[in-house]
Amino acid sequence: VFRVRENSLEVYLPWLDAQWSAGHRNGTQLWRELTRQGFHGCLRVVTEWATRRRKAEKMDCDALSRTPSARTVARLMTIGRDDLSKSQTVTVAAIEGGVPQLVEAREVVAAFQAMIRKKSLADLEPWLERARSSLVAAFANGVAKDRAAVSAAISLPWSNGQTEGQITKLKLVKRQMYGRGKIDLLQARVIGAG
């Protein structure tokens, strides 16, 4: 129904990228050269493009200069490769280059996720053997201790997700009502929330 408005720089972006890579970073100078090539846009369009490009490069440099926290590393190593931004991809590559054991740990975690999604109980024992010799050995030991529950989660079609969702909703209403009313008001809120 609605047409997306084409950017006036769209045609000139390859030339602008080449100029930027060659070291020409002045937005006004780029605009002057573009007008000689037939660009009819205003100076602000080109200077804003240069500013956005400069900020993106600065963010990429900043992301590489500071060491990410352990929580950030764990999140980056468990996200799918297709869902990472450019700076996150560069960070993951630097992490994997510096700590090769994390590559193996990432593969082990991905194998566990695939095993759960595919409901493949036959892969549990080989996965446990592989995981015990990696950085996720503590997690593998926990899975081995609770093997019956993990096997049931993989092989059975049932889930307690619906129950957990209802309990969470009930606790939320309870916290909202804390100190405000008696049991009859809480009951009305819970029944009304259902």
Render pLDDT for 81-130 as a digit per residue (tens, 0 to 9).
788 888 788 888 888 888 888 888 889 988 998 999 899 999 999 999 99
| pLDDT for 76 | 85
Q: Kindly report the backbone phi and psi dihedral angles of residue 184, in degrees, each rounded to the nearest multiple of 5, phi listed first.
A: -65, -35
Residues near 40 by Cβ (< 8 Å), separated by ≥ 6? 8
- What CA–CA distance (Å, rounded) separates 153 from 159? 8
| pLDDT for 141 | 95
* Average confidence score pLDDT of the chain: 84
Taking 80 as the threshold, does the pLDDT of residue 187 lie above it?
no
pLDDT-derived band of residue 40, with 50, 70 and 90 as boundaries?
confident
Domain ranges of the chain: 10-66, 100-155, 161-193
- Assessment of whether the complete model's pTM goes beyond 0.75: no
